Structure 1
Amino acid sequence: MLPTVFEGVCILFVVWPLLRIFKRLLTRTTLDNVPGPAPESWLTGNLTKLYDFNAFKTHREIEETYGSIMKFYGVLGETQLYVSDPRALHHIFVKDQDVFVEPEEYYAVNGIHFGEGILNSKGDKHRRHRKLLGPAFNITQMRQLAPVFYEVTNKLKGSFEGKLLHGPEEIDILSWMTRIALELMGQAGLGYSFDTLADGDAPGAFARAVKELFPTEDQMILARQYILPWAMKIGPPGFRRYIVNHVPWKALHDVRDIIDTIEGYMMRIYRQKKEAFELGDDAVIGGKDILTTLLKANAVDKDRMTEAEVIGNVRALVFAALDTTSSALSATLHMLAKNPDAQQRLREEVLKASNDDESIPYDTLVDLPFLDAVCRETLRLFPPLVTVPRVTATNAILPIATPITGVDGRQLNEILIPANTPIYSSVLSSNRNPAIWGPDTYEWKPERWINGLPSTVKEASIPGIYSHLMTFLGGGHSCIGFKFSQLEMKIVLAVLVKNFEFSPSIKDKDIFWETTSISSPALMVNGEKTHQLPLVVKSFKS
């Protein structure tokens, strides 16, 4: 009977989502009047174009051709909406965030990745998690974590110095930024070291698993979106595990093994930390990491978080801070390498602030104007998250700031959107909208943050929590750790730019920024894509 049951479940997983799509195709909606490109494929619509290797170029073409609102097509012609209009984004992320919700895929995937926690909750439960996690990211906590960040970054500095003893060398910056992002989060988040940051040391099993998870899952992006949410509702976990084990799909088995590795490591770290905490270990009790902060809070009020919630939240924070931070740091160093005058200006600012000390005091560091401008401008042009999916929980009216001309020639000031319509909010297009940021919007110019932004930026009322940008989103689901991320970036950049000079590699013309789960630099090597960012690095002596 088992093969028959298995086959029946597989058919159900495929047929049920398809029936929902066909039903929607037979129903005409107001979205039919929104301009957009014709589908490129009957199976995948325009999705391949939106997620191609050169998606930064694709999004620019969308901005220039269709503006801030566009209709496009998903699997089997499913109508979807692409949005970067600031008024529309305000409704999606702030005013009507209970109408424009995360898709079921979001909770299904995060439930598998992290278990219980902030990334797998909504409504009052989500607000509760944000409230409980808030103290782990306040200014006091950031000041306490700054020395930890410096200690980790100085290990990286030592490794670079060792590599450059005999002169300049081409270094894969992405690889090193990934390593330091994980170690920063390990030390500051868990009080645990994942990487010595020594040159030649191979990444451990946990580091490899964390790095491989999203690229491996991207091989199953359509199944993740259309099949996983329904599969998660069928039977108990043991039954679903049985199905996963017997489906002949290598990528699925690889994801299973990666998640098993991550969960095993996190459980061991948590249990060791909790046991030491309960035994009164002074080193643990005095720790400033996020996990210790949560254990201390639970020791005062047992009802604050369950053990599963503590583990789930810490797992989520490790992931949220890894690829996003490595992406942002890589992009910043890439831009500094291509703009030597900006790099020198930043170096002079850092050298003046440090006064020959190894570290810059927290309050001085966060107020360095050009360092802040460099970070803002990079996060504007190279947001780690390029698009953010939402779906309408009910029929909804979406007002827009800039009217569009419908297919029938009528002017549209708002759009009536049917329930269950997928929406892609474009962080990238919002951050680069020429009507808001000006004709030089596609240029990397940190000076714009010092000389004064165009009045159109403030007038647009972009709902992001950070510098008129959507990089860290806005509203109740904005990034809770954006100050943590900013501090990481500033300390790593300050230490590296003070001690090293960066310039482009001869391969620079072939580098492109790919946008799947997280934007990342890549090269084609012998016909195969590889994620890397080669830069020439040499020691700087002041």
Structure 2
Amino acid sequence: MSTVSFLVPAILLVLPIWLLLRGRALRSPLEQIPGPPSPSFFSGHLEKLFHRHEGWRLHNLLATEYAAVSRIRGVLGEHILYVFDPTALHSIIIKDQQYYEEASFSVSITSLVFGEGLLATLHDQHRKQRKILNPVFSIAHMRHMIPIFYRVAHQLGDGIAKQVGSLSGEVDVLNWMGRTALELIGQAGLGCSFDPLIEDVHNEYGEAIKKIAPALFSLGFPQFLTPYLIKIGTPRFRRWVVDNLLLNSKIQHLKGIVDLTYNNAKDLLEKKRLALKEGDEAMMQQIGEGKDIMSILLRANMTASESEKLSEEELLGQMATLIAAATDTTSGALSQILNLLAKHPDAQERLREEISQASNGEDISYDRLIELPYMDAICRETLRLYPPVHEVHRDCKKDMVLPLANPIRGLNGKWISEIFVPKGTRIIVGIRACNRNKDLWGEDALEWKPERWLSPLPGSVTEARIPGVYSNMMTFLGGGRSCIGFKFSQLEMKVVLSVLIATFKFSLSDQDIVWNLAGAKYPTVGKTSTKPSMPMKVELLKTASL
């Protein structure tokens, strides 16, 4: 069945709704907000927005050629605001966050793929889940995680060393980083091992997790229809439709991934429960020794009041969400850092020297590792310039007035210092655009310069009140839906880098590496390939001891 034949019945179901929205759009006060001309009456800018290559051009255009609030078009002329103005973002993310909910299409499709985890819940349910999860992502708990992180990092070093041998060789760094990120969240998050990180060993679950983001993104703009489609019939009926009628290859591919990840999560949860019933001695025999995230969560859930307890589906949702979110973003960020260090060998050598002085041949302690200035600068600058997630979507739930840090000129020539946002307006939070805003970061905002973090940031940055939870940037969002695991992710990256940079020298491959737009961006060899991959030349240092 072709994509068109799949879309026709779906569109016929929701067309009356969109026609109403179209009529409203024509009378919208947002008409005066500048933006690029729509390339399509039916899909607006959404085809380009969800294209893995063309999407970068649209994001760059909105970030550089238009003001910090601009307008693009959705289905049948719907107005969508693209926002990276810091004052407007503070309203959306912090001050008025209850009126700017996670977009309905994002919640519905995340729920279908991962279940009722943090990314797929709203309001009291989301706050309840976050409250019970917060303690396991505290700094105090991170200290317990560092021996696990080092154990996995050394396994990684051994695996790469065996592959390159005594000389040097070309390895798929993204594959190693993906396997490592999965093993890190496996051991520290679930108390189990997915991958021994031995050369040529492949894990079915890990491979499926890495395919989720590209598979979701490949659906393109039809995913905007999911809030309406999931209301048709019962879950059993919808599953029958997917199994028997929606035979589109992209949908069937995603269905296979979802089934595999769900069944694995269910099996892992049952094993974890059995270990808990057997007592502390059984828990100590597990890889995480009972200190992993899910063990602590299950214990907390057992003692929580009935109103605070998480359901079976919520627990399964947390597992699937944690694994997927921690794998794609961390592996992509680590791959990006190694790619940049290969492009800047002086920075790589400077980092190697800092690590050498701090370690003295041993694992660096938690307190010292997080304070290494150049390591920290490299991580911050990479996460600023190349955030793994480039945008998030919000739905305005009531008529609102959006304040602006700087006025914008409307299409009628008048200056606009605040924007009336009608109820139902979709908003795209431009994470990458805010992080690269030259008005805040200066004319060198598009340059990778770790040194900018070794001295005080410009007043334009610190005074802008950027609502991000991490270092004056939007990479990990902010407010009630900020990334709960951002400290976990930072520690993972620093531990892995401290081992790899002390052990290997990384150089660019002769192959052309292209970064693809997706829910979490990923590299491929060339533009035509759809397989996530990033080959690099890796040389085992003579002074390294594994």
Query: TM-score range, shorter-chain basis?
Result: over 0.9
Q: Would you say 1:486 and 2:483 are equivalent positions? A: no
Match 2:19 to one of 12, 18, 22? 22
Match 2:293 to one of 270, 290, 293? 290
Work out whether residues 88 and 404 of structure 2, in 8 Å CA contact, stay in contact via their aligned partners in 1: yes
Aligned pairs for 1:64-463 (under 5 A) are: 64-202=64-202, 204-226=203-225, 228-247=226-245, 248-280=247-279, 282-284=281-283, 286-301=289-304, 303=306, 304-357=309-362, 359-463=363-467
Q: Which amino acid aligns with 1:532?
A: S
What residue is the counterpart of 1:540 in the other structure?
Answer: 541
Q: Which amino acid aligns with 2:17?
A: R
Distance 1:220 1:529 in 2: 14
Distance 1:60 1:47 in 2: 15
Structure 1 residue 306 displacement after superposition:
3.0
Work out whether residues 164 and 171 of structure 2, in 8 Å CA contact, stay in contact via their aligned partners in 1: no
Work out whether residues 217 and 255 of structure 1, in 8 Å CA contact, stay in contact via their aligned partners in 2: yes
Distance 2:20 2:473 in 1: 37
SS of residue in 2 equivalent to 1:171? strand
Q: Would you say 1:502 and 2:506 are equivalent positions? A: yes
Indicate the RMSD between aligned Cα atoms, in angstroms. 1.8
Work out whether residues 166 and 540 of structure 2, in 8 Å CA contact, stay in contact via their aligned partners in 1: no
Distance 2:35 2:7 in 1: 34
Aligned pairs for 1:495-534 (under 5 A) are: 495-507=499-511, 510-524=512-526, 527-534=528-535
Give deviations 1:294-352, integer Å, cap 9, x for gaps.
12223433633333322221221111111010111111111111111111111111111
Of stretches 399-408 and 44-53 in structure 1, the one that deviates more from structure 2 is 44-53
Give deviations 1:474-514, integer Å, cap 9, x for gaps.
1111011100000101001111001111111122xx32322
Give deviations 1:140-162, integer Å, cap 9, x for gaps.
21011110011011111001111
Q: Which amino acid aligns with 2:240?
A: Y
Give deviations 1:150-205, integer Å, cap 9, x for gaps.
10111110011112224221222111111111111111111111111111112x22
Work out whether residues 45 and 75 of structure 1, in 8 Å CA contact, stay in contact via their aligned partners in 2: yes
Structure 1 residue 60 displacement after superposition:
2.7
Q: Which amino acid aligns with 1:301?
A: A
Work out whether residues 50 and 58 of structure 1, in 8 Å CA contact, stay in contact via their aligned partners in 2: yes
What residue is the counterpart of 2:3 in the other structure?
Answer: none
What are the ranges of 5 or more consecutive residues in structure 2 without an aligned counterpart? 1-5
Distance 1:160 1:18 in 2: 53
Q: Which amino acid aligns with 2:213?
A: F
Q: Which amino acid aligns with 1:38?
A: P
Q: Which amino acid aligns with 2:242?
A: V
Work out whether residues 388 and 427 of structure 1, in 8 Å CA contact, stay in contact via their aligned partners in 2: yes
Q: Which amino acid aligns with 1:338?
A: K
SS of residue in 2 equivalent to 1:198? coil
Work out whether residues 170 and 535 of structure 2, in 8 Å CA contact, stay in contact via their aligned partners in 1: yes
Distance 2:352 2:408 in 1: 46
Structure 1 residue 59 displacement after superposition:
2.4
What residue is the counterpart of 1:468 in the other structure?
Answer: 472
Change (3 A) 1:327 1:10: closer
Structure 1 residue 283 displacement after superposition:
4.2
SS of residue in 2 equivalent to 1:235? coil
Structure 1 residue 391 displacement after superposition:
1.1
Distance 1:54 1:371 in 2: 33
Q: Which amino acid aligns with 1:235?
A: G
Q: Which amino acid aligns with 1:21?
A: W
Work out whether residues 107 and 119 of structure 1, in 8 Å CA contact, stay in contact via their aligned partners in 2: yes
Structure 1 residue 96 displacement after superposition:
0.9
Structure 1 residue 57 displacement after superposition:
4.6
Distance 1:404 1:302 in 2: 50
Distance 1:372 1:109 in 2: 35
Distance 1:522 1:169 in 2: 19
Distance 1:530 1:306 in 2: 36
Change (3 A) 1:85 1:347: same
What residue is the counterpart of 1:3 in the other structure?
Answer: none
Work out whether residues 217 and 518 of structure 2, in 8 Å CA contact, stay in contact via their aligned partners in 1: yes
Q: Which amino acid aligns with 2:524?
A: A
Structure 1 residue 420 displacement after superposition:
1.2
What residue is the counterpart of 1:49 in the other structure?
Answer: 48
Structure 1 residue 374 displacement after superposition:
0.6
What are the ranges of 5 or more consecutive residues in structure 1 without an aligned counterpart? 1-8
Distance 1:349 1:11 in 2: 59
Work out whether residues 56 and 515 of structure 1, in 8 Å CA contact, stay in contact via their aligned partners in 2: yes
Q: Which amino acid aligns with 1:79?
A: H
Work out whether residues 114 and 258 of structure 2, in 8 Å CA contact, stay in contact via their aligned partners in 1: no
Distance 2:316 2:236 in 1: 21
Distance 1:316 1:172 in 2: 26
Distance 1:215 1:63 in 2: 24
Percent identical residues = 41
Distance 1:15 1:415 in 2: 33
Give deviations 1:5-45, integer Å, cap 9, x for gaps.
xxxx9876322432222222223111100001111122322
SS of residue in 1 equivalent to 2:10? helix
Structure 1 residue 520 displacement after superposition:
1.5
Q: Which amino acid aligns with 1:432?
A: R
Distance 2:145 2:354 in 1: 23
